[in-house]
Copies of this chain bind each other. A is one copy, B any other.
Amino acid sequence: MLVVQKYGGSSVATPEHIRRVARRVVEYRRQGHQVVVVVSAMGDTTDELIALMNKVSDNPPEREVDMLLSTGEQVSIALLAMAISRLEEDVISLTGSQAGIITDNVHTKARIIKVNTERIVRELSAGKIVVVAGFQGVNDANDITTLGRGGSDTTAVALAAALKADLCEIYTDVDGVYTADPRLVPDARKLPTVSYDEMLEMAHLGAAVLHYRAVECAKLHGVTLHVRSSFNRNPGTIVKEADEVEKSIIVTGVTHDLNIAKVALFDVYDRPGIAWKIFHALAVENINVDMIIQSAMRDGLNDIAFTICKSDLKKTLAVLENIREQVGATGYTYDENVAKVSIVGSGIATNAGVAAMMFEALARENINLEMIATSEIKISCIIKAHEVSRAVRALHRKFIVPGEDICMVSA
């Protein structure tokens, strides 16, 4: 069997952690499997590098950010290969570039466009455990790129797909995917299985356990994921194609995301092409916009509000400053103290009244809804950041906790 295992930053936080991961990898190898291991940077390494960077420049070129941050994973792969070698297994570490992870040119959030597996296949055939740096790749100019948040998950899934691996295990510091964040909701339950689509919404909405791009990639290539803890042997959560049976559950989980900011433009022209102008200008700068709300306030003028990743706020405001006159905006505002809470489940689309139940649960907690967005399998609300714990607990009580009949109504 060919297994791709991915170990996150908390699983390789210290030399002791790395030695434990090495033992786990070698154990697999000795069961006769071929093993490709993807690792993230050790614990706080990336944050430390960013702190160093901030002391040198407040606006570094993104190519150089990637040059800097990619060293974090390079340290991890070298140390893990050393730890595995010490257990007397043949092993080789490969940077993203050496592993053939080819990306586009969008520094700091590149997308994998191809995996040249030649070198990995050759090393596996030579009987080696192959340790690959997550989060990084190389573009066609031979420059190092990074994949952005959660990039190591994507590396693992892309390798599993390209190598036609039998399984892709995502090791993390939690036991699997929960119905809500257990730190906020003590009686949150671990899900034994979850569909790609549900995981996609949950990942997209801030369930930190697995990055949405990785789930997208897994869905596209039919890679079965096993999300589990590197600190114990418990079975985790299997992510795979949805069964019909599972649709009987309306709401699979409650998620939240504090890493967002809300931006609003006032009084833009109510004219075709205005929204295109705004969101094209943002797309050119590689700013991902999440929720968008447009509301007609007076004749011929609109307010447009949208949410973005907090780290894109500075770039976003610069874009707005550039285009505000073109779109006729009288001003703009932003708010970083917001959060998104969502309910996710395959049954939402087929169950009328789920949205109303969600709004009721939040209203009973006296929580104001600033924006609302829905899809086939999720409903999201933007609320004040300090209300997020209360909101998540209320929604979990409403939809998930066993015994409350509403949440188990079948489609």
Which residue on B lies nearest to A16, using beta carbons?
Answer: B55
Please tell me if A75 contacts chain B, counting CB pairs below 8 Å. yes
Tell me whether chain A's interface is mostly helix, strand or loop, or mixed.
helix
Are A61 and B82 closer than 8 Å at their CB atoms?
yes
- Across the interface, which residues of B come within 8 angstroms of A85, CB to CB? 57, 60-61, 64
CB distance from A200 to the nearest CB of B (A): 33
CB distance from A64 to the nearest CB of B (A): 5
Are B63 and A82 closer than 8 Å at their CB atoms?
no
Please report which residues of chain A, range 91-131, place their CB below 8 angstroms from some CB of chain B when the two chains form the complex.
91-93, 95, 98, 119
Contact flags A57-76 to B (C-beta < 8 A → 1, else 0): 11111011101101100110
The verdict on A15 contacting B52 (CB below 8 Å), with A61-B85, A93-B64 known, is: yes
Task: Count identical subunits in the complex.
Answer: 2
Which residue on B lies nearest to A79, using beta carbons?
Answer: B56
Assembly CA distance A56 to B144 (angstroms): 27
Are B67 and A81 closer than 8 Å at their CB atoms?
yes
- Across the interface, which residues of B come within 8 angstroms of A49, CB to CB? 75
Are B74 and A53 closer than 8 Å at their CB atoms?
no
Assembly CA distance A55 to B82 (angstroms): 10
Please tell me if A383 contacts chain B, counting CB pairs below 8 Å. no
Which of A56, A60, A92 lies at the interface centre, i.e. has the most chain B CB atoms within 10 A of its CB? Answer: A56
Please tell me if A83 contacts chain B, counting CB pairs below 8 Å. yes
Assembly CA distance A98 to B81 (angstroms): 24
Please tell me if A78 contacts chain B, counting CB pairs below 8 Å. yes
- Across the interface, which residues of B come within 8 angstroms of A19, CB to CB? 56
- Across the interface, which residues of B come within 8 angstroms of A16, CB to CB? 55
Assembly CA distance A346 to B362 (angstroms): 88
Are A92 and B63 closer than 8 Å at their CB atoms?
yes
Please tell me if A142 contacts chain B, counting CB pairs below 8 Å. yes
Assembly CA distance A93 to B63 (angstroms): 9
Please tell me if A209 contacts chain B, counting CB pairs below 8 Å. no
Please tell me if A86 contacts chain B, counting CB pairs below 8 Å. yes
Please tell me if A377 contacts chain B, counting CB pairs below 8 Å. no
Please tell me if A170 contacts chain B, counting CB pairs below 8 Å. no
Which of A49, A65, A81, A144 lies at the interface centre, i.e. has the most chain B CB atoms within 10 A of its CB? Answer: A81
3 nearest A-B pairs in the assembled complex, by CB-CB distance: A15-B55, A68-B78, A67-B78
> What are 19 inter-chain pairs, A to B, with CB distance below 8 A?
A15-B55, A16-B55, A56-B79, A57-B82, A57-B85, A57-B86, A59-B86, A61-B81, A63-B92, A65-B82, A67-B74, A67-B77, A67-B78, A68-B74, A68-B79, A70-B74, A71-B78, A74-B74, A98-B143
